[in-house]
Structure 1
């Protein structure tokens, strides 16, 4: 069979596009020069990631084991298949916020299914080249989203500090503020001092250790210290408990078909969050050091495969983690070997140190997450947004409030919508319509000629205002629409121009159009702006020619009136 020549280039492009989404030897071209720094960074990130993985696993309503599985499996897969050379993936606080209601409604077993479903969606998004979509999210919305997540993570730790009994998933309120208040109302005040002491020790270690030396893992030091003191003092602190000493065998999640359908909306929410957070993290990572550009589409493919793999091993959905990624880059990580090493370090901890890890008090993990949450919020950034523009400040506040009160994805959607509305409003204000005087020397009848100049964009938001401004022109027999300074024009703007011409012509006013830009000509012809003119010669490229033509019209009218 002979393949048509026209199909060969298409198949070649498709093959090249597919290969671009897959790992290659080029991913490791820097390893010969960077392997020492990569190994050191990988070990450092693995140590930093351990308490976070444990804490996020517990806070999600699952278990510390689920957090570790996710960090190992998803961290390794995303490192190999992702689009960033330095991204570190695993369980994150944002994902915990979404998973807790899912666990409460459908049970812990449903999370693995959600992870697989969400991973398939993210994988498909990468294959469809949707990676650049994150660039449409404004900075104030991103920061409002981050602030809301930080508040939620902080509040989620309150139940771990006020009672030795870890609340079951179905006991959690869907709102973190209400859950924190309920936990305080039922607090065990004999337990609280012990938990707050553990929190204080971890917080001090996390604050002081980096100041002594940047490589000191403050969170791990604090956790080890709290665990040791709890054992020596026989403190009544709740512990993580028994952890398995190996990874479970991979298996498809067992879920009833009806439950699977019910989980579809949750899976879409998780997929959207995983894609947004991973792409934002990868974009920030690319700016931290000279580690090469990231491929957003491949990053989605890698994160999709990571969540699928995590779900098959009984873990939770994963995303790129900006905190761990930043530690990786600042510790010297420059290639994928660093994030691969991080996953291997965590796997060794599971295989060798599962017993000691199970003795870690939950209050210590709560302290790690509370400090992490406070570090997510940069006061200088918040201050600069609130002092920028009223629209950006409002978008920031709305996004943060809705994130805490309702839902993360809804918050992003509403935040983007608000930012878009404000941007459209500001853009519409840039549309200018003004009447210009005729150039000297003046001639009889010039007072009956109006030159209307358009500036800036002309689109749907400004259409009615422009129509009113032009059609209210009084005392003119000839109107020259000067369009050389007209920038963006959409179909609504072009349609309004057509309506303006027709409205003026019906009143007996002759309309001349001057300076139609080449990029607007086809749209004007299609929508009917040009055909609305009384004569095809009423279209000009030079203003003096248009003015002279208008004066001819005025003289003819004067002759008719005198006759």
Structure 2
């Protein structure tokens, strides 16, 4: 018998490279940490960090859920399921996932328009979209959101969050359901001011005061949890007449519900699709921004596309258990880093600790006053506003100030998705304007000889009017094509040969390519010539794709070599060899 002959066909190195690249892009950081060697000391550090984050996330998760129109149990479910999956599959070592204050406006609007079933379906669809964005490797483009846009919508969300907490902060009794839009909300709240409950207001102010005092005196202590615990003890022991989680929601369950798919209905899918897209857009921005913050604190680098896939899986998982949208949370992620976390295990343990609270201490949550959670959210809203960045952008330039204010005001008075889209579009237009003004063309004078006089050949050419040399600097694209093209059209008629030095042009687009092709063709019809110098291989390939190629134009490496060729007066040289 003969042994089977193994195939000697070599493996495709490109396929192997692509497979390795795919693995590198989407390998969870948990796998990377384990491959580096995960020791018991690392686990202890992650356990301490996870407990610290859980203490911060516990009151926040319930407060954000209540402010969104969901139940406190849904907030905990979102933090437990979503937080665990984000850390398990994520591309950041320190990212903490869960419900975020930035989503309060969108979640509340979705519940009001489509009910709780619509919210869960929108969360599921958002998860699919986030995973698709990650697998399509579009995470890099999410980072193109201008900084003034993120500062503007974050500040706008903070204003809306604070406005949404005015009723529980002061124990107001509204004569009608509280409207969602700020313009409609404020008159209703103003009309209800005579119904202020002094006890509720005092308890909420006490919670705010405790958080502020703890942050100032003991910044490493969990101020949010301390405020909630102390005010809950006071309210329970004194029998204060204030609304609590128990009176408003009947408490929270002592475990996770059984997973189930959301109800799928084509009409409902179409109806909630805008909400799902908004969840996806904001979730991608928030999660990658949080990962960047963690990178800045640790010196590490996250995998953006892997992170988006994890966010998608987390949103799908959260919706299966009745939770709502999950994203990376900057405050909890920063707390995780400061607490000494080593890797994603801390985020997974934070979810386990929250589940333990839900299973063991659920009855105690019934005594938490809603005013205490409203006070916590008021502090969170204040912290969300990047006050120094806001003031700096207002002073920086008219363009940054315009993008900031437009995004901020649209977030407050219109819609968050609209604010992001309009802010991004305005920022792009301002950038195009700035780039177009940074691109210019100027006549290039031949270098002088050591004795101070111009070189004889170059002097002959320019004095006889045979050649004119212009250098273009900056990106040659549609924003600058009109002004540069108008200038070159005028100067091209002043000499038989136009030499364009593009050594300072990093890129061109089709509009600029067609502009130069038009000038070259016009010049050739009149018996003249256009010579292009200083282009790299990639830039020449772009020119060729747009029809800018010999014999319409001639290419040369430098202005000097172009002038030498022109002095040789070789009429048969169309520049094809120089373009090689």
Task: Compute the TM-score of the two structures, normalised by the length of structure 2.
Answer: 0.86
Structure 2 residue 268 is matched with structure 1 residue 259: yes
SS class of match (2:491): coil
Pick closer, same or farther for the CA change 1:2–1:400 going to 2, 3 Å: farther
Partner Cα separation in structure 2 for residue 103 and residue 343 of structure 1: 25
Q: Is 1:463 aligned to 2:510, yes or no?
A: no
Question: 2:48: which partner in 1?
Answer: 40
Specify the SS of the correspondent of 1:308.
helix
Contact 2:410 2:416 in 1 (8 A): yes
Task: Confirm or deny: 8 A CA contact 2:172 2:196 kept in the other structure.
Answer: no
For residues 322-373 of structure 1, the C-alpha deviation after alignment (integer angstroms, 9 at most, x for no partner) is 1111111112222222222211221122112212211111111111011111
1:238 to 243, 253, 262: 243
Matches within 5 A, 1:205-220: 205-220=210-225
Q: Which aligned pairs between 1:194-233 and structure 2 lie closer than 5 A?
A: 194-233=199-238
Contact 1:110-1:255 within 8 A present in 2 as well: no
Q: 1:37 to 1:213 in 2, by over 3 A?
A: farther
Q: 3-state DSSP class of the match of 2:475? A: strand
- How far 1:4 sits from its partner (Å)? 8.1
Judge which range, 18-27 or 331-340, deviates more: 18-27
- 1:275 — aligned with what? 284
For residues 175 and 267 of structure 2, the distance between their equivalents in structure 1, rounded to whole angstroms, comes to 27
SS of structure 1 residue aligned to 2:432: helix
| Aligned twin of 1:304 | 312
8 Å CA contact 1:478, 1:550 repeated in 2: no
Q: How does 1:441-460 map to 2 (within 5 A)?
A: 442-443=459-460, 446=463, 448-449=465-466, 450-460=468-478
Structure 1 residue 261 displacement after superposition: 2.8
- Quote the offset at 1:512 in angstroms: 4.2
TM-aligned CA distance change 1:484 to 1:327, over 3 Å: same
Match of residue 195 from structure 2: 189
Look up the match of 1:173.
179
Residue 476 of structure 1 pairs with residue 494 of structure 2: yes
From 264, 269, 289, the counterpart of 2:298: 289
- Alignment partners' CA distance in 1, 2:367 and 2:488: 77
User: Aligned equivalents of 1:182 and 1:165: distance in 2?
Assistant: 10
| CA drift at 1:497 | 0.9
Closer, same or farther in 2 for the Cα pair 1:63/1:486, shift >3 Å? same
Residues 38-80 of structure 1: CA deviation (Å, up to 9, x unaligned): 2222111111111111111101111111111111111112121
Post-superposition shift, 1:152? 1.7
Change (3 A) 1:509 1:323: same
Query: Displacement of 1:250 after TM fit?
Result: 1.4
- Could you tell me which residue of structure 2 aligns to residue 558 of structure 1? none
**Count of paired positions:** 546
SS of equivalent residue, structure 2 residue 442: strand
Correspondences of 1:357-368 after superposition (within 5 Å): 357-368=365-376
Q: Deviations over 1:111-143 (max 9, x none)?
A: 222222211221222222222222212222222
Contact kept, 8 Å, 1:21 with 1:297, in 2: the verdict is: no
Contact 1:120 1:304 in 2 (8 A): yes
Please name the residue that 2:451 is paired with.
none
Shift of 1:278: 1.0
The 10-residue stretch of structure 1 (437-446 or 341-350) with the greater mean CA deviation from structure 2: 437-446
**Is the 8 Å Cα contact of residues 533 and 562 (structure 2) preserved in structure 1?**
yes
Distance (whole Å) between structure 2 residues aligned to residue 231 and residue 167 of structure 1: 28
Identify unmatched segments of 5+ residues in structure 2: 1-5, 448-453, 570-580
Structure 2 counterpart of 1:500: 519
Match for 2:136 among 123, 128, 138?
128
Q: 1:322 to 1:508 in 2, by over 3 A?
A: same
* Distance across 2 between alignment mates of 1:260 and 1:542: 60
User: Which of 144, 153, 157 is the aligned partner of 2:161?
Assistant: 153
C-alpha change, 1:347 and 1:281, in structure 2 (3 Å) is same
Secondary structure of 2:499's aligned partner: strand
Give distance in 2, aligned partners of 1:40 and 1:130: 35
Q: Which moved more, 1:256-265 or 1:22-31?
A: 22-31
Q: Deviations over 1:242-301 (max 9, x none)?
A: 2222221212223544223322222122122222211111111121125x4322222122
> Is contact 1:478-1:512 (8 Å) kept?
no
Aligned-pair RMSD on alpha carbons? 2.9
Contact 1:119 1:303 in 2 (8 A): yes
Distance, in Å, in 1 between the alignment partners of 2:420 and 2:111 is: 22
8 Å Cα contact 2:500/2:532 also seen in 1: yes
Equivalent-residue separation in structure 1 for 2:461 and 2:272 (angstroms): 78
Distance 1:31 1:304, change over 3 A: farther
In structure 2, what is the Cα distance between the partners aligned to 1:39 and 1:253?
34
For residue 316 of structure 1, what is the aligned residue in structure 2?
324
Helix, strand or coil for the counterpart of 2:471? strand
The answer for the alignment partner of 2:82 in structure 1 is 74
CA deviation map 1:515-552 (0-9, x unaligned): 4443332333332333464xx7x654454565577679
Q: 1:15 to 1:186 in 2, by over 3 A?
A: same
Does the 8 Å CA contact 1:477/1:508 hold for their aligned counterparts?
A: no
C-alpha distance after superposition, 1:187-228 (max 9, x if no partner): 45342x223212211111111113332332211221122222
**Does structure 2 conserve the Cα–Cα contact (< 8 Å) formed by 1:478 and 1:510?**
yes
Residues 478 and 511 of structure 2 are in contact (CA less than 8 Å); yes or no, is this contact kept in structure 1? yes
Distance in 2 separating the partners of 1:228 and 1:12: 61
Cα distance in 2 for residues equivalent to 1:166 and 1:326: 38
Match in the other structure for 2:387: 379
Alpha-carbon distance between aligned partners in 2 of 1:551 and 1:127, rounded to the nearest angstrom = 56
CA distance 1:7–1:263, shift in 2 (3 Å) = farther
Q: Which moved further from structure 2: 125-134 or 540-549?
A: 540-549
Cα displacement (A) at 1:432: 1.4
1:155 is displaced (CA, Å) by: 1.4
